[in-house]
Every structure is written in C-alpha cells, then in structure tokens.
C-alpha cells in the first residue's frame, strides 16, 4: 500500500490504537544498556542516548521515572513527507491539556501521552478522525 500524504486522508485514516504497555523515556550515558535492553526506540542526542523502554526494562536497569507514558499508534501508513498529521494530533491533545511526545517511524506515527491521560487522549484522537471524516 502506498503511503498517505494528504492531510485530511491521514487524519481520517489514522485509526488510533492504544498499546496496553507502559513506556519510559530514559537517558543513558552507557550505550551498553541499549544493547542489553530492548528499546522500542533510541535517539542519540548531545546530552546522551535517549531510549524508550518498557516498564520492565526501565525497572531492570534502574531507569524508571515518575512519568510512565502510553503509546497511541496512528495506524494510517503516513508518508514521511506528509504534512499536517503531527500538528493536528499535537494540537488536539494540547487543546485538551494533554502532553504529547510524537515519534515518527517509517510506516506510522506514535503519540506518547502520560499514562493517566491515555483513555481520554485516545477518545480525542478518535473524535478528531471522525470529525475530519464528516467534513
């Protein structure tokens, strides 16, 4: 299937799905931790290696923090050069007072929100898709 580039089509088709796992954003100085853990994602920053770890891995390496996150996957195959999906999602969640960290991968975008806000965030994103479909 070809990736979707049209903003409206991306929003209508995002079909958000809540991952039942809990995730932690962690900063490590030792890259061996990344090799021993199973990070969902990692990114090298000037300050160190950022990892997104499961609750279990974060605890096992003494890295769990005070902000567990939920992952909502936008299941539309959005194009890497598609414009507007991230902005629409982040704006809808911000308007509801929900923090959002977006991670784009090859096929899908993923919104990480505080675990306590996950059910409300999922409902907001579903409503956003429905509203775009009604236009």
pTM: 0.93
Residue 76: C-alpha distances to residues 9, 52, 66, 79 (Å)? 9, 22, 31, 9
1-22+68-135 is a CATH 3.30.2130.10 domain: yes
- β-bridge partners, 114: 69
Q: How large a percentage of the chain has pLDDT more than 70?
A: 98
Burial track 16-29 (b if 16+ CB lie within 10 A, e otherwise) = bebeeebbbbbebe
Q: Where are the domains of the chain?
A: 1-22+68-135, 23-66
87-118 confidence digits (pLDDT tens):
999 999 999 999 999 999 999 999 999 999 99
Query: Crossing angle, helix 85-95 and helix 118-134, to 10 degrees?
Result: 120
DSSP labels, 62-96: T---S--EEEEEE-S-B-TT--SHHHHHHHHHHHT
Integer CA distances (angstroms), 94 to 69, 76, 87, in order: 16, 21, 10
Task: Give the pLDDT confidence score for residue 135 in this predicted structure.
Answer: 65
pLDDT at 65 over 80: no
Query: Rounded to an integer, what distance in angstroms lies between the CA atom of residue 28 and that of residue 9?
Result: 38
């Amino acid at each position: 299937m070809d990736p979707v580039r049209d903003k409206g089509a991306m929003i209508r088709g995002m079909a958000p799905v809540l991952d039942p796992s809990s995730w932690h954003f962690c900063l490590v100085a030792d890259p061996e931790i990344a090799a021993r853990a199973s990070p969902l994602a990692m990114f090298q920053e000037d300050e160190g290696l950022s990892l997104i770890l499961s609750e279990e891995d974060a605890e096992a390496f003494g890295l769990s923090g005070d902000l567990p996150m939920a992952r909502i996957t936008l299941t539309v195959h959005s194009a890497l050069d598609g414009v507007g999906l991230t902005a629409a999602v982040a704006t809808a969640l911000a308007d509801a007072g929900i923090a959002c960290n977006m991670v784009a991968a090859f096929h899908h975008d993923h919104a990480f929100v505080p675990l306590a806000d996950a059910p409300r965030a999922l409902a907001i994103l579903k409503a956003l898709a429905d509203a775009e479909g009604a236009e």
